Amino acid sequence: MTTHPHGAVAVTAPAKINLSLGVGSCRSDGFHTLATVYQAIGLYDRVTVRADDAVSVTVRGDSRIPVDGIPLDDSNIAVRAARLLAEHAGVESGVAIEIDKGIPVAGGMAGGSADGAATLLGCDHLWGLGTPREELLELAAELGSDVPFALVGGTAIGSGRGETVTPLMTLGEYWWVVLESENGLSTPAVYREFDRLADDTVDLPVIPDALMMALRGHDVAVLGASLVNDLQAAALRLRPELAHALEQGLLESAYGAIVSGSGPSCLFLCEGRSHAVQVATGLRSAGLGPVSFAPGPVHGARVVAADGQG
């Protein structure tokens, strides 16, 4: 297939948090059944794709994000995304992928999934494919459970292994303080610990009614009290110091505190921006790790720049 590419296309994709993460038993394919409420928040990775002879990837992070653990070979999810779309569409062009990380690495916030989604969208634009949205979502699901949500953004229910995304209409804006960790946490290791703790006594995962009602009515206090993460106990077993971080955030007046996904990032729900600044300042002075804050929900992956129409 002949393409008429742009010179370069830049795409942003947001961090994901789980307001509710219900985890069921391990399925025959090795994945766990999930019932989750996703929200995209305003921390972004930026992915720039350029036409090139081969497929390659480079990664940069800002001062708070170490990137030396990210693979730069064919196992990188952005490389896999570019190859998957090229194979799907019969494209023979290569692509140079540049990733600027603003989402913590191995932090339970789906930064890799954001890069996969951004690369799919960027290459689709670069190669002038116009792939239907449903097809892009199917390709995203092949790449990973959280990749479809990174395309959709907003607030949504995730089911299956998380890859089936149903958008939720919610009222208003929420502000989240994110306490990052200097060291990431392996998602497979957290799931193994979950399985060990559960010992085959896992119920079907559910989303609490109170949480859904709080989202519909924009009740920050009730939402904070309803946050739940079935992986949290496993993450705390592997990283016991996170329990202190969660307690500290509540002491700083956050409405809710939860481990993000498989961790180790911790999330603190606040009333608004000024409250988030106050909680973030308190956590910074406690010296527990890098702190940022961001609103949600925000849009999913989107093209932010394109030049040099060919």
For residues 159 and 73, state if they share a domain.
yes
pLDDT score of 91 more than 50: yes
* Average of per-residue pLDDT values in the chain: 93
Is a pLDDT exceeding 50 seen at residue 54?
Answer: yes
Provide the pLDDT for residue 1.
47
| Domain residue limits at 58 | 8-168+298-304
Domain for residue 72, yes or no?
Answer: yes
Say whether 73 is catalytic.
no
Residue 16 among the catalytic residues? yes
Based on the fold, state whether residues 136 and 182 are members of the same structural domain: no
Is residue 73 a part of any domain in this protein?
A: yes
Residues 140 and 233 reside in one and the same domain: no
Question: Which whole-number Å values give the CA distances from 216 to 35, 146, 178, 194, 283, in the listed order?
Answer: 18, 23, 23, 30, 29
Instruction: Note the pLDDT of residue 310.
Output: 39
Residue 310: inside a domain, yes or no?
no
Residue 117 sits in the same domain as residue 258: no
> At residue 227, does pLDDT exceed 70?
yes
In a domain, 3, yes or no: no
Instruction: Quote the number of domains for the chain.
Output: 2
Which residue has 């089911």 as its token pair? 159
Reply yes or no on whether the pLDDT at 211 is more than 90.
Answer: yes
Residue 88 lies in a domain: yes
pLDDT in tens, 180-208: 988 889 999 999 999 999 877 777 899 99
Q: Which member of 100, 124, 146, 230 is catalytic?
A: 146
Residue 204 located in a structural domain: yes
Q: Are residues 181 and 219 in the same domain?
A: yes
Average pLDDT over residues 75-79: 97
- Do both 18 and 119 map to the same domain? yes
Q: Are 67 and 60 in contact (CB under 8 A)?
A: yes
Q: Do residues 125 and 243 both lie within one domain?
A: no
Q: What is the mean pLDDT of residues 283-291?
A: 93
Q: CATH number of the domain that 49 lies in?
A: 3.30.230.10
Q: Measure the CA–CA gap between 32 and 16, rounded to whole angstroms.
A: 18
pLDDT, tens digit, 9 for 90 and up, residues 256-281: 999 999 999 999 999 999 999 999 99
Same domain? For 290 and 200 the reply is yes
Domain identity same for 127 and 206: no
Mean pLDDT lowest among 151-165, 198-212, 281-295: 198-212
Are 142 and 271 contained in the same domain?
A: no
Same domain (yes/no): 184, 160: no
Task: Return the CATH number at 290.
Answer: 3.30.70.890
Residues 190-208, buried b or exposed e (16+ Cβ, 10 A)?
bbebbbeebeeebeebebb
Is residue 2 one of the residues assigned to a domain?
no
Q: What is the pLDDT of residue 308?
A: 56
Say which of 16, 45, 100, 101 is annotated catalytic. 16
Identify the helix (H) or strand (E) that includes residue 111.
helix 111-126
pLDDT grade, residue 6 (50/70/90)? low
57 in the same domain as 32: yes
